[in-house]
Structure 1
Amino acid sequence: MVLILMVLLLAGSGVLLAVRRSKESWLVLGLVISLDVFLLGILTYIAKKGGIGDQIETLFYLTSDVRRFFQYRVMTLGQLGFFVAVGRYTFPPLLVALALQYSLSPWLRPLRKKGWAFFLLPALTLFVYLPPVFKQLTHNRLELQKFLVEASLAWIWAYLLLAAALLVYEYFSVCISFLKKRYLAKALLPLSMGLLFAMYCPQDPAQIYLFYSSDYMWLLGIWYLNPILSPSRYIAVIAITAVAGVMCFYTLLRNTHTYISENQRELVLQRKFDAANMGVSVFVHSMKNQLLANRVLHKRIKAALAESEPDLEKLRQYSSMLDETNEALLQRMEELYQSVKAKSLYLSVVSAAQVAEKAVERFQHKYPEGSVQVKVPEELKILADTVHLAEALYNLLTNGWEAMVMAGCAGPEQAVRLRIYNERLYTVIEVADQGPGITPEEQKRIFEPFYSSKNSNQNWGMGLYYVRQIVKSHLGHLRVESKRGQGTRFLILLPRYAARPAGPDVLLESCEHEEVVLNREGGRK
């Protein structure tokens, strides 16, 4: 069982790295390799020592042939002991490093740059456990042997507890529900791997080095060296190993699937937009149809004016219809134009309240009767292109109000809610409505270019695609949460702007009042 889990974890971490080459993926791969090295060393040691029961043989090796394969590998005690030491002393610092990598707490983020400090003690311990160094230091020094065994185990447990505390603290510190769920899916991987490692970490390499020369080392027998386990103890061992191992593989598989799905969605959206660019003639045809409709109205107006006594009421009706079609045409052209015109954005430090004010101003111009509840701290600053971000918010506000009107719940006491607040490393812009909600099927398509669930004569479906592109260009993320009949909430997560204790305010290496030019893909120009 243990061997199968080791192979599956190594394969899964390799796939994760192939899918997403990031520091996180490298740390996961390093963690899996160190755990595999440690467990392989232990399996080899147990096979060579012998004297285990049939149950433990099945748990570790599955068959006697596999156990004999490990038993007759040619290795000195020094080589085998150091092999175990490498896995044992590299796993804990890598676990702490991964926990810090997962952390979004502002006060913990600086520790990432000092993460190398957590490798100093393991590196020193690994140096001490080099076979010639260990032999020179501990020869005929039983008390020193005891100290090294107990001290190394102490800091290993301290590292494991620190990593677990960081992961648990981070989980309870996240307030946004979808971020909490996503974090839990990631945090279960290091937690389950830590549990699996903790079951075997008391195995000290010194016990292998001094196998024939120290009676003290024989007193360090661990549970799996007991030839006969009680039924309850055996069941506990099987259960913990199985649960921890399966959880490791499941979370690794799930995270890999999540990254693959995200990459596929990005690719699908890009392909659809490229295809849409090639089909501009379709939109030219659509505009032509509306212009032809305007021509018909114009002819009717001319005919009415040619009468001896023009029907003023009919003329007013034709004029109103002409005005509506022109406004709709201009709006559709503006959405398409805004979505494709900008090749770069100019980010500067601005007030979040200023961006919200511009968005609400545009919204009120289109819907004077519309109501927006705004909650934005006056002192909150963000790094943004004011024009484009305000335009994106205007699109979300408009969608929210139109959804409420469609649901019949728009009124003086009902309003679209716009909130901007800091959440850990993000500045969150939240736009929520009380409309009919969006089905899961529609949520998968709403960001596609030219997709709309509304009247296609009035909407081209470019609004949310434009919003998504602008958010992405701000190095942010766009998230939608909705249930049918319970309204919709859009969340824009932008990198949080912070001030250094001394010197100019900065974010993304950019000083206040300095413009940062980004292309539409979010890269610096």
Structure 2
Amino acid sequence: MLIIVVTISTFVVLFTTIMRRHSFPLVLSAMNVANLLHVSCIVLYIAIMGGLASRDVRLLFLNERIMRWMHQLPVNLYHLGYLTSVSRLMVPCFLVMTALALSMNRYIRDQRRKIYLFAVAPTLLLALLYYPDIYKWMIYRQIHMLSLLVRCSFAWIVAELLVSLGILLYEYYEISIPVFRKNFLYILIAIVSQMLVYLIFATKDPAQIYNLFITEYLNLGISNYISPSLSSTGWDILILLVIVGALIGAWGIVRYEHFQYSEEREYAVLEKQFSAADMGISVFAHSMKNQILSAQVLHKRMRRELRKDKPDLRQLKDYEEEMARLNDSMKAHIDEYYATINSKHLILALTNAREVADAAISKFYEKYPGVSIRRDFQTGNRVLVDFSLFSEAIYNLLVNACEATAGIEGPARISLTIRAERMWVVFAVTDNGIGVPDKMRRKIFQPFLTSKSKDSSWGMGLFYTNRIVRQHMGHLRMESKSGEGSTFMILLPALTAGRKPEMRAAGKKEGN
């Protein structure tokens, strides 16, 4: 039963590795395989030695027939003991590597080689000392080396587990973006479930498979695999927790993979939609045609009014204002469509994050001079951006926030925050507006999606912003509650201090 659960969890992680093909699933898969090998070797050893209660047989083997079959396998105990020793040492070693692959702390990433050496070198040394021939030669010459080896190997396992736990917990509490925090929690569940399985047997030294009946070994007070230190009830509870934890861990990895896959699929769909939008001149022409027809209707009304002996000046004034509104709307649509096409080309430059945010706010005040924006610039990190396009993206989010607060009761509150978040520089625009309706959240970045009148908005602003952010190798996230407001976050890769980025243009901007 225990092996089946661990095997299922391992295959789920292996599937993730095949799908994702980057460092984190690779080392997590290695840790799961090592843990599966460790548990399998011990269960096989228990089957060979026998002497279990029927309840323990069911928990470990499902039924006694499987245990008898394993008991009759021709297994060399020295080989089995060495596999158990190596897999026991490799699990925490791969856990350290998993923690390093997940960490985005700059100091930890800069010290990765040293931490790898810290994890790998002693592990290889201990694995060498547990090799049967070396182990027997060392123990028979100096019997006190047995106690030293047992205690050193266990102390090293504890040290690696504590280092890994420290890195993972620090990383988890450093994450403030809810979607990333939830995603990281899925990974932690998977890791903790595997560690529950591992810790059942990791406290017992595998050298007992070599020399279970040596008096000096028995005097160390280490419980053997066959006679667990827990009571029957405690053993049942622990096994149950392991099974539940492993199943939850497998579910967590599936959720993590589904989250990543859904995000990539959503972006692929958006790219196709934008390609369609690039070629959707007919849509653009149709919308412009409607507004031109409206302008023609107004023009006819104005001509009719002017032909009267006594034209109504107030009516003419209303017509003139409506005509001006239509002209402004058509110009805005043309500018937006041109900017959408022109956004395919970037000229990247190293820029202070505060400067590009200030440029966006200045442009916003030109259109909305009476609206106040609270600035909370917590970092002045430099980012690699196309200054004009990226400030336009922030400006679009500010305009979106302003429009969201237009109809609320009480004062509108809009803020622009810049902060460092792990390996990202985050630009967050927060408002206390009406929020995004639940039915629109999944498709909020799709083109031509708007809750406002089609005459005043095409619904291209957020999609256009998302495209700009993606071109800068960033991400655009949204957190919203209906009636309470929204936060739109742009995440850009932070530049590591001391490294000069490649100043390479993604293309040339077309002239006006």
TM-score normalised over the length of structure 1: 0.90
Residues 79-107 of structure 1 show CA distances to partners (whole Å, capped at 9, x for unaligned) of 11121123111111110111122222232
Uncovered stretches (5+) of structure 2, i.e. residues with no partner: none
Residues 207-244 of structure 1 show CA distances to partners (whole Å, capped at 9, x for unaligned) of 122346x3334566536512896343233332332343
Deviation, structure 1 residue 45: 1.0
| 3-state secondary structure, aligned to 2:433 | coil
2:59 matched to 1:59?
yes
- What corresponds to 1:21 in structure 2? 21
Deviation, structure 1 residue 130: 2.2
- What corresponds to 1:503 in structure 2? none
Q: Is the 8 A contact 1:435 1:485 kept in 2?
A: yes
Question: In the alignment, residue 449 of structure 1 is paired with which amino acid?
Answer: P
Q: Which moved more, 1:393-402 or 1:63-72?
A: 63-72
- What corresponds to 2:491 in structure 1? 493
- What corresponds to 2:293 in structure 1? 292
- What corresponds to 2:351 in structure 1? 350
| 3-state secondary structure, aligned to 2:351 | strand
Alpha carbons of structure 1 residues 454 and 227: separation in structure 2 relative to 1, 3 Å: closer
Equivalent residues in 2 for 1:376-525 (5 A)? 376=377, 379-409=380-410, 413-500=411-498, 506=499, 509-510=500-501, 515-518=503-506
Q: Is the 8 A contact 1:392 1:467 kept in 2?
A: yes
CA distance in 2, matches of 1:222, 1:340: 71
CA distance in 1, matches of 2:456, 2:166: 54
CA distance in 2, matches of 1:378, 1:77: 60
Residues 162-206 of structure 1 show CA distances to partners (whole Å, capped at 9, x for unaligned) of 211222222233344443333222222223322321221133332
- Deviation >6 Å, runs of 4+: none
CA distance in 1, matches of 2:175, 2:230: 43
Alpha carbons of structure 1 residues 330 and 317: separation in structure 2 relative to 1, 3 Å: same
CA distance in 1, matches of 2:277, 2:412: 37
- What corresponds to 1:272 in structure 2? 273
Question: In the alignment, residue 42 of structure 1 is paired with which amino acid?
Answer: I
Question: In the alignment, residue 100 of structure 1 is paired with which amino acid?
Answer: L
2:247 matched to 1:256?
no
Q: Which moved more, 1:53-62 or 1:350-359?
A: 350-359
Q: Is the 8 A contact 1:437 1:485 kept in 2?
A: yes
Deviation, structure 1 residue 307: 4.3
CA distance in 1, matches of 2:370, 2:331: 21
Equivalent residues in 2 for 1:78-157 (5 A)? 78-117=78-117, 118-157=119-158
- What corresponds to 2:371 in structure 1? 370
Q: Which moved more, 1:176-185 or 1:8-17?
A: 176-185
| 3-state secondary structure, aligned to 2:108 | coil
Residues 286-331 of structure 1 show CA distances to partners (whole Å, capped at 9, x for unaligned) of 1111112222223333344444554433332222111111211221
Q: Which moved more, 1:488-497 or 1:341-350?
A: 341-350
Question: In the alignment, residue 67 of structure 2 is paired with which amino acid?
Answer: R
| 3-state secondary structure, aligned to 2:40 | helix
Alpha carbons of structure 1 residues 519 and 492: separation in structure 2 relative to 1, 3 Å: farther
CA distance in 2, matches of 1:489, 1:190: 31
CA distance in 1, matches of 2:343, 2:272: 19
Residues 34-88 of structure 1 show CA distances to partners (whole Å, capped at 9, x for unaligned) of 1111111111111111112112211111111222232222221221112112311
Equivalent residues in 2 for 1:136-285 (5 A)? 136-211=137-212, 214-218=214-218, 222=223, 224-226=225-227, 230-285=231-286
Alpha carbons of structure 1 residues 379 and 438: separation in structure 2 relative to 1, 3 Å: closer
CA distance in 2, matches of 1:229, 1:168: 29
Question: In the alignment, residue 516 of structure 1 is paired with which amino acid?
Answer: R
Deviation, structure 1 residue 480: 0.8
CA distance in 2, matches of 1:353, 1:211: 67
Question: In the alignment, residue 181 of structure 1 is paired with which amino acid?
Answer: K
Uncovered stretches (5+) of structure 1, i.e. residues with no partner: 501-505, 521-525
Q: Which moved more, 1:70-79 or 1:232-241?
A: 232-241
| Equivalent residue pairs, number | 506
Q: Which moved more, 1:67-76 or 1:374-383?
A: 374-383
CA distance in 1, matches of 2:284, 2:69: 69
Deviation, structure 1 residue 379: 4.2
- What corresponds to 1:339 in structure 2? 340
CA distance in 2, matches of 1:318, 1:338: 30
Q: Is the 8 A contact 1:473 1:518 kept in 2?
A: no
CA distance in 2, matches of 1:124, 1:72: 33
Question: In the alignment, residue 505 of structure 2 is paired with which amino acid?
Answer: V
Q: Is the 8 A contact 1:15 1:256 kept in 2?
A: no
Residues 404-442 of structure 1 show CA distances to partners (whole Å, capped at 9, x for unaligned) of 113354xxx534211212233221111011111112321
Question: In the alignment, residue 510 of structure 1 is paired with which amino acid?
Answer: P
CA distance in 1, matches of 2:76, 2:11: 29
Alpha carbons of structure 1 residues 7 and 377: separation in structure 2 relative to 1, 3 Å: closer
- What corresponds to 1:69 in structure 2? 69
CA distance in 1, matches of 2:421, 2:401: 23
Q: Is the 8 A contact 1:434 1:487 kept in 2?
A: yes
Deviation, structure 1 residue 19: 2.7
CA distance in 2, matches of 1:228, 1:158: 23
Q: Is the 8 A contact 1:100 1:111 kept in 2?
A: no
- What corresponds to 1:523 in structure 2? none
Question: In the alignment, residue 75 of structure 2 is paired with which amino acid?
Answer: M
Residues 370-414 of structure 1 show CA distances to partners (whole Å, capped at 9, x for unaligned) of 3222232584433222111110111111111111113354xxx53
CA distance in 1, matches of 2:113, 2:472: 24
User: RMSD across aligned C-alpha pairs, in angstroms?
Assistant: 2.4
Alpha carbons of structure 1 residues 466 and 41: separation in structure 2 relative to 1, 3 Å: same
| 3-state secondary structure, aligned to 1:164 | helix
| 3-state secondary structure, aligned to 1:482 | strand
Q: Is the 8 A contact 1:43 1:70 kept in 2?
A: no
- What corresponds to 2:33 in structure 1? 33
CA distance in 2, matches of 1:221, 1:267: 56
Q: Is the 8 A contact 1:38 1:87 kept in 2?
A: yes
Deviation, structure 1 residue 124: 1.4
CA distance in 2, matches of 1:482, 1:222: 54
Question: In the alignment, residue 347 of structure 2 is paired with which amino acid?
Answer: Y
Residues 107-128 of structure 1 show CA distances to partners (whole Å, capped at 9, x for unaligned) of 2221224343021111111122
CA distance in 1, matches of 2:385, 2:168: 31
Question: In the alignment, residue 116 of structure 2 is paired with which amino acid?
Answer: W
